[in-house]
Structure 1
Amino acid sequence: MRPTIRVLREEWADPAVPLPSYVTAGAAGADVRANLPEAERAGGLVLAPMARRLVPTGLRLEIPEGFEVQVRPRSGLALKHGISLPNTPGTIDSDYRGPLGVILINLGAEPFVVGHGDRIAQLVVAPVVQAGFAEAAELGDTARGGGGFGSTGAR
């Protein structure tokens, strides 16, 4: 089943900025773009080193029940400029109808300018299973047991 994500543009958003889209036939993530308020479009948003900022997309999503949209960094921005998402992957729940903003962080050494219409993240649509949680008196044994971080080997 291929779900349809309904998209509403904010009243202030630039309709010339494309909707999220898959760049190749095998892409798992659809690129989403910055859609800046009119006063910031010419100069873009400057993201200083180690600074984070909520970048607007000008969009609101209607996600079908039983799905989520994960917001993930773009690998090219991460490698070339140190731009990432501090809460990766971010989750957009199916019952959220507010503005879609992307929290970017600059882990690089130089200021980075987010331009109007720039591809800033990717959106991955994924099915969701809601589990039940039940209190137990004990848990079943496994080979790993209670071993935590790094407990399965040196590398």
Structure 2
Amino acid sequence: MELKFKSLSGSLPAYATDGASGMDLRAFIDEPITLKPMERSLIPTGLFVQIPEGYEGQVRARSGLAIKHGIGLVNSIGTIDSDYRGELKIPMINFGNESFTINSGDRVAQLVIAAYERVEPIIVSVLDETDRGEGGFGHTGVKG
């Protein structure tokens, strides 16, 4: 499947390895942006995308930035709808204890394209029973 991009930098997102599911998105900024601990910023990528109907773009944090520097996404995973045509901007946050500087060209997030189905919500008075029932939030414990 082809995915159409408009790029202000002239470059495209790319898969880092043959088995990668996410394409790396890079910062496209005029000057470095420094995030202090617990500070947030919207990082431009210079990319615009045309996602086919029936698909969504999922913007995800990069694991290396998260574990090495405490850098994540404000909304954990961002969704890009197929009808959005604006610039892709990454809502980054510094969860770490030290300031972190983002430079133009730095890989700041990943883009995964995934198919989805739309459903029709309906109201019912009773849901089907399951063995799990209402158990949630760690009800099965930590050890298996």
**TM tier, smaller:** over 0.9
Residues 9-53 of structure 1, C-alpha deviations (whole Å, 9 max, x = no match): 2xxx333xx3100011110110010001x3x2xxx0011111010
Match of 2:20 in 1: 27
State yes or no: 1:55 paired with 2:48.
no
Residues 59-101 of structure 1, C-alpha deviations (whole Å, 9 max, x = no match): 1110001101100011111111111112121110101111110
- The CA distance in 2 between the partners of 1:23 and 1:128, in whole Å, is 25
The amino acid that maps onto 1:8 is K
Match of 1:153 in 2: 141
After superposition, the CA RMSD in angstroms is: 1.2
Match of 1:137 in 2: 125
Does the Cα contact within 8 Å between 1:4 and 1:63 map onto a contact in 2?
A: no
Paired residue for 2:79, among 60, 67, 91?
A: 91
Q: Which runs of 5+ in 1 are unaligned?
A: none
Paired residue for 2:91, among 99, 103, 107?
A: 103
State yes or no: 1:71 paired with 2:69.
no
How much does 1:154 deviate?
4.3
Q: Which runs of 5+ in 2 are unaligned?
A: none
Does the Cα contact within 8 Å between 1:67 and 1:125 map onto a contact in 2?
A: yes
Paired residue for 1:14, among 9, 26, 44?
A: 9
The amino acid that maps onto 1:14 is S
- The CA distance in 1 between the partners of 2:19 and 2:9, in whole Å, is 28
User: SS of the counterpart of 2:15?
Assistant: coil
How much does 1:131 deviate?
1.3
Does the Cα contact within 8 Å between 1:144 and 1:152 map onto a contact in 2?
A: no
- The CA distance in 1 between the partners of 2:142 and 2:110, in whole Å, is 33
Identity of aligned residues (%): 50
- The CA distance in 2 between the partners of 1:150 and 1:46, in whole Å, is 37
How much does 1:133 deviate?
1.0
Moved over 3 A (4+): none
TM-score by length of 2: 0.94
